[in-house]
A and B are shown apart, each in its own frame.
Chain A
Amino acid sequence: MVAPPDPPMSLLLELTHRCPLQCPYCSNPLKLERAADELSTADWLSVLDQAAALGVLQVHFSGGEPMARADLPDLVRHAAKLGLYTNLITSAVLLNERTLGALAESGLDHVQISFQGSDAAGADRIGNYAGGHAKKLAAAALVRASGLALTLNFVVHRHNIARVPDMIAMGEAFGAGRIEIANVQYYGWGLLNRAALLPTRAALDECTDTVLSARARLRGRMLIDYVVPDYYAAEPKGCMGGWARRFINISPAGRALPCHAAETLPGFDWPDVRTHSLADIWYASEPFVRYRGTGWMPEPCRSCDRREQDWGGCRCQAFALTGDASRTDPACHLSPDHAMMAEAAQAASAPAPPFAYRRIGQRGV
């Protein structure tokens, strides 16, 4: 008998896939959902009630651009009343004094603003949105002035990795408590644009040195979270802390997923929060149980002593690269498929192809 899992810790609500930006590494699926298919306010409120009862502690309001939903302040207020830690993950181009004020009043705990770079021209080219960077700077200043906790998130790839020192300096200038230097993760749109985005190993190594020395310098003042691309790692990430062990993601149309990329996996009947309780989904639904723990593992994971640290890596990456979601993540040096990572990394030294921008109703291919 397998012990029942612990309650989930975090819930990420993709309130909508609508977004004014078109980042070519967007973590949303290639098949974006339309506004007409989004859950209603009442549906989201019920999800929040059930999540709190189930033991969720933290809720991330994300998208798409979550501020495109007019009911966002109501959802935040409800979550805060339930004692949930509320985090807004936003591009911030819709953030102004009025919209921020409504969220602060609703009890929002933390704002994370994504930046596409440190310079306006480069950043606006990535987001394919003129004037976006300037709006984000103004938004970050507003958040800082409001007294809310602020994280600046920088998504890093071959076109901006050399500017990581400027990104760190931006975090310091804004007095952010925390920044993220997050290399693109290559799923969905990121995978589609991998040849245009993956940096070389040399560029990554330089970036890593920069981050480590800034961390030491800023210790106790500004946290720097750092995410590297799997392509240059020896071991995979413990993706989501293990499949369905800590985290639930809800898509705009109400499908519950163990991670935001899981909809890329074929052969799953994802439970709908309108017809299934969150408790049932967490404890008993077939998709959540399928790769939970270690019972599903093939070799080399099955007999590996890291199996409860990284849980065999990412199922979505295993599927995207090998066509089989139940294989060891190719990011692992013990995986029989590991050579694929080095092959893909060769593209990083070739000239970058143009971006396939993220668009609704179009796959960009």
Chain B
Amino acid sequence: MSDSRIPSFRRGVKFRFDAVRDAWIVLAPERLFVPDEHAAEVLKLVDGARTLSGIADDLCARFDAPRDVVLTDVAAMLDDLAERGVVAW
């Protein structure tokens, strides 16, 4: 299974570490949320160059999880974030 779609942050969306809360934060116009740990690990790999498959490979290598499951999970998570205006394909 492979997926060559490339996610990137939408215009006006920022993803950064906040030292006060000790957490990664997604910042967008009138939107602001703290992604859970899984989502934060995925978002750290969104750079407008890596493909979905590339992101899944990276996560598999680090977290020792079955690749197909990871790919499906990551695709679902990013699709959801795309609907919420955070990332675009």
Residues of A bordering B, CB below 8 Å: 7, 9-10, 53-55, 57-58, 83, 85, 87, 109-110, 112, 147-151, 177-178, 180, 219-220, 223, 225
Contact = CB atoms under 8 A, between A and B. Distances in A.
A110 B32 contact: no
Pairs A-B, 6 closest by C-beta atoms: A149-B12, A55-B20, A85-B27, A223-B85, A110-B29, A149-B11
Given A110-B28, A177-B12, 17 more contacts: A7-B20, A53-B20, A54-B20, A55-B21, A57-B18, A57-B27, A58-B27, A109-B12, A109-B27, A110-B29, A147-B11, A148-B12, A149-B11, A150-B12, A151-B29, A178-B30, A178-B85
Most buried by A among B10, B13, B28: B28
B38 interface: no
Contact of B18 (A55, A180, A223): A55
B50 to A, nearest CB: 20
B18 to A, nearest CB: 6
A149 B32 CA distance: 15
A83 to B, nearest CB: 7
Nearest to A223: B85
Given A57-B25, A151-B29, A220 B14 contact: no
Contacts of A149: 10-13, 29
Contacts of B37: none
B82 A110 contact: no
B79 to A, nearest CB: 8
A85 B14 contact: yes
B29 A87 contact: yes
Contacts of B30: 87, 151, 178, 180, 225
Contacts, number: 57
B21 A7 contact: yes
Nearest to A84: B27
Nearest to B29: A110
A150 B28 CA distance: 11
B39 to A, nearest CB: 17
B81 to A, nearest CB: 10
B64 interface: no
Contacts of A57: 18, 25, 27, 32
A270 B27 CA distance: 29
Contacts of B21: 7, 55
Given A57-B27, A58-B32, A220-B83, A110 B18 contact: no
21 contacts: A7-B20, A7-B21, A10-B32, A54-B20, A55-B18, A57-B32, A58-B27, A85-B14, A85-B32, A87-B29, A87-B30, A112-B29, A148-B11, A149-B11, A149-B13, A151-B30, A177-B10, A177-B85, A178-B85, A180-B30, A223-B84
Contacts of B85: 177-178, 223
B21 to A, nearest CB: 6
A238 to B, nearest CB: 15
B29 A178 contact: yes
B29 A83 contact: no
Interface in B8-54: 10-14, 16, 18, 20-21, 25, 27-30, 32
Contacts of A7: 20-21
Contact of B16 (A54, A83, A112, A225): A83
B37 to A, nearest CB: 19
Nearest to B85: A223
Contact of B83 (A55, A219, A225): A219
B55 to A, nearest CB: 19
Interface in B72-87: 82-85
A57 B25 CA distance: 9
Contacts of B28: 85, 110
Nearest to A222: B85
Contacts of B16: 83
Contacts of A9: 32
